[in-house]
Chain A
Amino acid sequence: MISVQQITKGFDDLRRGRVAALDQVSFEVRPGEIFGLLGPNGAGKTTCLRILSTVLRPSSGTATISGFDVVKQPTEVRKRIGFMSSNTGIYDRMTAWEMAEYYGRLYGLPEDVLQSRLERLFETLQMNDFRDTLGAKMSTGMKQKASIARAIVHDPPVIIFDEPTSGLDVLVARKVLATVQSLKDQGKCIIFSTHIMREVEKLCDRIAIIHKGAILAMGALSDLQQQYHQPDTEELFFDLIERHEQQTRTTQTEFRLAAS
C-alpha cells in the first residue's frame, strides 16, 4: 500500500548548512498493518510523513501510495490518504460538523453518502455532544477527535498519523489509540509516528527506528528485541541511537584527519 524507496530530503539551514532531514529512507507498509516510526524529536519523522502526504517533495527517491506516485500524481494520492498531525489544526470559525462536512465535500463525496458517513463517524467517535461547537471553543480532546473525523471522513485506505497523541492527557490519548486500533481492524493501512515507546509496544505491528534522517533498524518489535539482544524497548532505542552517534563521530574524525 505504502512504498517508500530511497527517499532523501535536504534543507538549507543557516546554523548547520545543508542538512539531510531524510537520508535514503526506504520501507513498505501493507494493508491491515500499523507501521510505527519511532524516533526522537527532529529525527525526520514529520518530513517523511509530509512527503507521503505530498505536502513536501522529496529531493530524490520515490514513494507510492496505492500505486500512485506522490510527486507525479499528488491529487490521486491525497484522495486515498487521511492525514492527521499536530500541524493540521481545525478552523476556529467552523463547528465540528461543518468542518467534517466541508472536507467531505472537498473529497467529492456525494451528499447522501456524506451525510450518512458523518452520522456514523460522529457516533463511533462519540462527537455528537459537541457537533455544533465552534473550533475556537473546543477542548484539546475535542479538537483531536474533530481532526480525526476530518482525516477519515472520506474513508481512505491509507491513514497517516503524525504524533497524534502529543499534548493530550492520558484519557484522551487512550481514546485516540483505541481509534487507531479500530481503524486497523477495519483493514486500513496505517503509518504512525511517535516518540513514545509504550504506544509502539501496544499498537504497532512493525516499527522503524529513525534518527537524524536515517532508519537505524526496522522490523517487528519482538524481532528487533531478539536481534539486538535487548528485551526492553527503551534500552533498545537508546542502544541503537548511541551506536549511530558513535559511528558518525568516527567518520567525522576520519574525515577531518583526512582533510588536515
Chain B
Amino acid sequence: MVAVLPLLLYPALGLGMFSMIGNFAEQPRTVVVLGEKHLPSPPLLDGERFVANWFMNPDDASKLMVVTDTAVELGGGGSNASRNLQLIKQAQELRKLVEQHTSLEDEFKQLKAALAEQQPDLSVTPAESPVAMQQRMQQLKEHLAAIDHELTNLFAASQIQVLIVIPDHLRENIERVNRLIVERKTKDLTDFTYPRPKIVKNRADDKSVVAYNRVREVLDAWESEILRQRLSALGLPKELPNPVGSAPLDLAAEAQISASFWSKMFPALLVIMAVTGAFYPAVDVAAGEKERGTMETLLVCPATRAEIVLGKFFTVMCFSMSTALLNLLSIGATGKYMLSNPVTGHGMPAQSGGITLPSVAAWAWLLVLLIPLSALFSALCLALATFARSSKEGQYYLTPLLMVSIGMTVFCMSPGIEIYPVHQASWFYSVIPVVNIALLLKALLLDPSSTGAWIFAGPVLATSIGYSLLALWWAIEQFSSEGVLFRDGERFEPGLWIKHLLCDKEPTPTFTEAGFCFVLIMLAQFGTMKTFGQTITSVSQDQMGVQMLKVLVISQISVIACPAVLMALILTTSLRQSLRLRWPDWRFLGAAVVLPLVLYPLVVELVASLTWFFPPLSEGAVRVIKSMSDGNQPLWLIVVAFAVAPAICEELAFRGFILTGFCRNGRTRLAIILSALTFGVMHMIPQQVFTTTLVGIVLGLIAVRSRSLIPGVVFHFLFNSMSIVRERVSTHLAAGHAEEFQRSVWSSFATLEVGGLRYTWLTLALCSTGSSAMLWWIWQTGRTKGNAEAVNPLFAGGLAPATQHPTCAS
C-alpha cells in the first residue's frame, strides 16, 4: 500500500487539477461600467465583454462579464435583465458614495496642503485660522471614514467585483485636449484637469483582486492605444513614450528551466517524503511492538539490543527510501505529463514543448544523498517511536518532526539560499543536518556537472553520515533503557507529578531536570530578547554602549543564573551538591589560573583559522560588539559584563545544575560533552557556539574532576578577561605604539595585525604543550573521586517507602 499509494496519488491529483482548471474557466467575474456612453474611442467594450484585443491572451475576455448602464437602459441582457438591473442600481448607489468620497478627499488634501504652507488658502476657506482648519480636517476625516465604511459594506453586499465609473463628458474632454495639443494651444496644466474615471475594487477580496488585475490589463492596453492615436494625430512617432524601451533577453534554455523547476521541487519533497516514509514503519516496529506485547518476546532472544535496533533501523530505512523514490518518480512523471499538455501546462515554465525530467546523473545524486537523509530520519523516528508508550503516542511525535523538517526545506527552497553563497565563502550550511543535503541536491539538480557543488559533496556526506550515526546511537540508547522500554501507561496527573517533584526531592537534580533547566534558559533568553532590545534602544546613541553592558549583566543574572538557582532550590535538597558549592583542592585552583592563559591564544588562532567556515557576522552584530568593547566604556563595567557576570552566572547554570544533573546517569564523559553542547548552543552565534562548546568541555572536565564550581569560575573569569586584555592591548598598540612593540621582546610571541594581536608559532607551541600537559593532569587527577561521585545508585537517599518521607507524611 505504501508503494502503490504514491503511484496512484499523483496521477489522481493531476486529474483533479485538470478538471479544476476546466471548472475555473467557466466562472466569469462581474465588472460594472457606469457611463458607457462617455467612453472615448477606440471601442473598449464589445457587448457583455471587453474587446478581446486588449487582453494579452484574447481568451481571457471570457473571464470578465461586463454590465453597462446603457445596455440595461435599452433593456438588454436577455435572461439576466433583472439581475443586471439590480447590479446597475447597486452600482449607482456606489457611484454616489464614490463621488462624495472624492470630493471630501479633495477638500481634505487642499486643507492639508494649505496647512503645510502655514497660510490659509484664500480661495477655499477664507479667513480661517489653522486651528479651525485642523478641526475641519478632523471632521472630514471622520466623514470620510464613515463613507468608506458604508462603501465597503455596500460593495461587499453587491455582486460586483470591479466597478468602473466613467465621468460625464470624458470623451469630449479627451477630444478637446487632443485638439488643443494639435493646435499647440495647451497653455498650462489646467487644461488636463478634467474628471477622470474611478475604479472601485476591494483588495481583501480575492475575486475582486483577480478581476481588477484583468481590468487593469485591459485599460492599460486601451489607454496606450488612445495615446498612440494622439501621437499619430500630431505626426509624432509611436515610440515617443518609451525613450528607453528596454527589452529582456532570456537566456534560459529549455533544459535549464526544467532543472530549475526540479531543483526547487525535489529537495523539499525528498525531505518530507523521507520523514513520512520513515515515521509510520518506525512507530509500527517500535511502539507498535510494545503495544502488541511482543517487545519482551524479542528482548529475551539472544540478539543484543544494538542488533535489534539495527534490524529495525534497516527496515525503516528501506521504507523511507522507497517511499521517497516512488513519490519522486510518480510526481516527476505526472508533472512532466501535465506540463507538456497544452491545456493544463498553459503559462507554465516551458510553454514550448514541455519540460524534461532530470538527467541520469541528477537521479544518481538523488539516490546517493537519499541514503544519509533516510538514515538520519529513520534513526530519529526509531528513537522517538521507541520512547512512545503506544503507537498512538508515537503518532503525536510526527507533527513536531514534520514541522521542523518542513521549516528547514522551506528555508532551502527560498531563492538565494545556496550551499555556496557567491559572495561569502562559507561552509556553514554544509554541516547543518538536512539543510546541507537539501541544498546540495538543489545545486546538483540545477547543474549535475557543476564542480562547485561537487566540492561540497564530501563534507555533506561525511557530516550527514555522522549525524545519522549519532541518531542511531540515540535510538540504541533509547532501546537499552529499561525506563523507556517499560514505561507504564500511567495516567498523567499534574497534581501528583508536582507533588512527586516537590516531595520526593533528591540531593542533586535528575537528568531530565537538567535538560529542562537548559530549555528554560533558552526560553527565557528568547522571551526577554524584545524587552532587553527595547531597553537598549530607549537611550541616546552615546549612552547605548553602557546601557548594553548593563543589560548584559542583568540578562546574565536573570536569564541564566536565576533559572538554575531557583530550580536547585525548589527541586533538590542540597544546593551545595547541586551547584557544586564546595572548596576545591588548591591544585585545581592553580590549574584554573594557569590554564586559561595558555589556552586562550590557541582558541584565538583556531577561530582565526576557521573564519572561512562560518557565515560572517551581520553588520549589526559587529557594530554591537564593537560599541560594547571600545575604549569609551568604563573598564570596570566591561570586566563585570564580560568576565565577572558570565563566570558566575554561566558556571552556576551549566557546570552547576545542568552538569550535575547530566552526571546522574553515571556517564561522566557524555555528561561533560552534553553540558558543553548546551553551553555552546546557548550562545547562538555559530562562531561562539563552536568556541564555547570547546571551552565548555574543558570547564566541564575541571568541574567534574575538582568536584567544585570555584575553579571553573576562576577559569571562566580569566579566559574572558584575556579577550578584554587582548582587545585593549591591540587598541593601545595600534594607536601609535606599534613600532615600540616590534622592537621589544614581545614581538616574538605576538604580532599586531588588522583584527588585533595574533600569536606566533612560538607562543602556540608553548601554549599547546602547556595546556595539553595540564589537561592531562586534570584528566588523571581525581579520577576515582569523580567516578565515585558520578555513580549514583537509584536510591541515593536510601530505600524508603513514601510514607516515611518526613516532608510528605500525610
**Residue of chain A at shortest CB distance from B800:** A18
Residue from the list A15, A23, A90 in contact with B496, Cβ < 8 A? A15
Bound: A89/B493 CA distance, A? 30
Interface flags for B453-493 (1: CB within 8 Å of A; 0: not) read 00000000000000000000000000000100110001001
B799 in contact with A55 (CB, 8 Å): no
Binds B, one of A74-82, A112-120, A168-176, A194-202: A74-82
| B299, B302, B490, B801: residue with the most chain A Cβ atoms closer than 10 Å | B302
Whether A252 is near chain B, meaning CB under 8 Å from some CB there, is: yes
| B493, B793, B794, B797: residue with the most chain A Cβ atoms closer than 10 Å | B794
Whether B623 is near chain A, meaning CB under 8 Å from some CB there, is: no
Q: A78-B300, A103-B301 are in contact. Are A18 and B294 (CB under 8 A)?
A: no
| Complex interface: chain B residues within 8 A of A75 (CB) | 302, 304
Residue from the list A55, A60, A79 in contact with B793, Cβ < 8 A? A60
Bound: A12/B304 CA distance, A? 26
CB of B280, distance to nearest CB on chain A (Å)? 16
**Residue of chain B at shortest CB distance from A82:** B300
A18 in contact with B303 (CB, 8 Å): no
Q: Is the interface of A mostly helix, strand, loop or mixed?
A: mixed
Whether A206 is near chain B, meaning CB under 8 Å from some CB there, is: no
B297 in contact with A90 (CB, 8 Å): yes
B496 in contact with A78 (CB, 8 Å): no
Interface flags for A49-92 (1: CB within 8 Å of B; 0: not) read 01001111101100000000000001100110101010111111
Bound: A15/B491 CA distance, A? 11
CB of B53, distance to nearest CB on chain A (Å)? 68
Whether B725 is near chain A, meaning CB under 8 Å from some CB there, is: no
Interface flags for A120-161 (1: CB within 8 Å of B; 0: not) read 000000000000000000000000000100100000000000
Q: A17-B808, A103-B301 are in contact. Are A56 and B482 (CB under 8 A)?
A: yes
CB of A13, distance to nearest CB on chain B (Å)? 8
Whether A256 is near chain B, meaning CB under 8 Å from some CB there, is: yes
B493 in contact with A14 (CB, 8 Å): yes
B809 in contact with A16 (CB, 8 Å): no
B504 in contact with A18 (CB, 8 Å): yes
Bound: A252/B497 CA distance, A? 25
Whether B423 is near chain A, meaning CB under 8 Å from some CB there, is: no
Bound: A213/B301 CA distance, A? 26
| Complex interface: chain B residues within 8 A of A259 (CB) | 804, 806, 809
Bound: A50/B806 CA distance, A? 33
**Residue of chain B at shortest CB distance from A212:** B801
A53 in contact with B300 (CB, 8 Å): yes
A18 in contact with B799 (CB, 8 Å): yes
Whether B802 is near chain A, meaning CB under 8 Å from some CB there, is: yes
**Residue of chain B at shortest CB distance from A259:** B806
CB of B259, distance to nearest CB on chain A (Å)? 44
Interface flags for B787-807 (1: CB within 8 Å of A; 0: not) read 000000111010111111110
**Residue of chain A at shortest CB distance from B292:** A89
A55 in contact with B493 (CB, 8 Å): no
**Residue of chain A at shortest CB distance from B300:** A83
Bound: A8/B798 CA distance, A? 12
A92 in contact with B302 (CB, 8 Å): no
Q: A56-B486, A259-B806 are in contact. Are A88 and B795 (CB under 8 A)?
A: no
Whether B500 is near chain A, meaning CB under 8 Å from some CB there, is: yes
Bound: A108/B496 CA distance, A? 47
Interface flags for B270-303 (1: CB within 8 Å of A; 0: not) read 0000000000000000000000111011011111
Residue from the list B302, B490, B793, B808 in contact with A14, Cβ < 8 A? B490
A78 in contact with B500 (CB, 8 Å): no
CB of B800, distance to nearest CB on chain A (Å)? 7
Whether A107 is near chain B, meaning CB under 8 Å from some CB there, is: yes
A17 in contact with B497 (CB, 8 Å): no
B795 in contact with A107 (CB, 8 Å): no
Q: A17-B808, A19-B801 are in contact. Are A88 and B500 (CB under 8 A)?
A: no
B292 in contact with A92 (CB, 8 Å): yes
Q: Is the interface of B mostly helix, strand, loop or mixed?
A: loop
| Complex interface: chain B residues within 8 A of A74 (CB) | 304
Bound: A255/B296 CA distance, A? 40
| Complex interface: chain A residues within 8 A of B504 (CB) | 12, 17-18
| Complex interface: chain B residues within 8 A of A252 (CB) | 801, 803-804
Interface flags for A1-22 (1: CB within 8 Å of B; 0: not) read 0000000101010111111100
Residue from the list B301, B486, B794, B808 in contact with A107, Cβ < 8 A? B301
A23 in contact with B300 (CB, 8 Å): no
| Complex interface: chain A residues within 8 A of B503 (CB) | 17
| Complex interface: chain B residues within 8 A of A81 (CB) | 300
Bound: A16/B804 CA distance, A? 11
**Residue of chain A at shortest CB distance from B294:** A89
| B304, B503, B804, B805: residue with the most chain A Cβ atoms closer than 10 Å | B804
Give chain A's interface residue range (CB within 8 Å of chain B): 35 or more
| Complex interface: chain B residues within 8 A of A83 (CB) | 300
Q: A57-B482, A78-B302 are in contact. Are A88 and B297 (CB under 8 A)?
A: yes
Give chain B's interface residue range (CB within 8 Å of chain A): 35 or more
| Complex interface: chain A residues within 8 A of B496 (CB) | 14-15
Residue from the list A16, A50, A91 in contact with B801, Cβ < 8 A? A16
| Complex interface: chain A residues within 8 A of B486 (CB) | 56
Interface flags for A195-227 (1: CB within 8 Å of B; 0: not) read 000000000000000000000000000000000
B795 in contact with A18 (CB, 8 Å): yes
Residue from the list A16, A55, A92 in contact with B300, Cβ < 8 A? A55
Residue from the list B300, B301, B304, B795 in contact with A10, Cβ < 8 A? B795
| Complex interface: chain A residues within 8 A of B302 (CB) | 75, 78-79, 106-108
Bound: A78/B799 CA distance, A? 30
| Complex interface: chain A residues within 8 A of B292 (CB) | 89, 91-92
Bound: A79/B808 CA distance, A? 45
Bound: A127/B377 CA distance, A? 42
**Residue of chain B at shortest CB distance from A77:** B302
| Complex interface: chain B residues within 8 A of A55 (CB) | 296, 299-300, 482, 485
Bound: A92/B292 CA distance, A? 9
| A14, A89, A252, A259: residue with the most chain B Cβ atoms closer than 10 Å | A14
Bound: A239/B594 CA distance, A? 70
**Residue of chain B at shortest CB distance from A10:** B794
CB of A11, distance to nearest CB on chain B (Å)? 8
A18 in contact with B802 (CB, 8 Å): yes
| Complex interface: chain B residues within 8 A of A106 (CB) | 301-303
CB of A1, distance to nearest CB on chain B (Å)? 17
| Complex interface: chain B residues within 8 A of A16 (CB) | 801-802
B500 in contact with A23 (CB, 8 Å): no
Bound: A118/B299 CA distance, A? 22
| Complex interface: chain B residues within 8 A of A107 (CB) | 301-302
Bound: A53/B500 CA distance, A? 31
Bound: A253/B296 CA distance, A? 40
**Residue of chain B at shortest CB distance from A60:** B793
Bound: A60/B794 CA distance, A? 9
| Complex interface: chain A residues within 8 A of B500 (CB) | 12, 14, 17
CB of A149, distance to nearest CB on chain B (Å)? 12
**Residue of chain A at shortest CB distance from B808:** A17
**Residue of chain A at shortest CB distance from B804:** A255
Q: A18-B795, A85-B296 are in contact. Are A78 and B801 (CB under 8 A)?
A: no
CB of A58, distance to nearest CB on chain B (Å)? 10
| Complex interface: chain A residues within 8 A of B497 (CB) | 14
Q: List 24 A-B contacts (CB under 8 A).
A: A10-B795, A10-B799, A12-B500, A15-B802, A17-B504, A18-B799, A18-B800, A19-B801, A55-B296, A55-B300, A55-B485, A57-B482, A59-B794, A78-B302, A81-B300, A83-B300, A88-B293, A88-B294, A88-B297, A89-B294, A91-B292, A106-B303, A150-B297, A255-B804
Binding site for A on B (CB under 8 A): 292-294, 296-297, 299-304, 482, 485-486, 490, 493, 496-497, 500, 503-504, 793-795, 797, 799-806, 808-809
Sorted nearest first, the 7 A-B pairs with minimum C-beta distance are A17-B802, A89-B293, A88-B297, A83-B300, A78-B302, A106-B301, A87-B296
Known pairs A91-B297, A252-B804 / 16 extra A-B pairs, C-beta < 8 Å: A10-B799, A14-B497, A18-B795, A18-B802, A19-B801, A20-B801, A53-B300, A55-B296, A56-B482, A79-B302, A83-B300, A88-B293, A89-B297, A92-B292, A147-B297, A259-B804
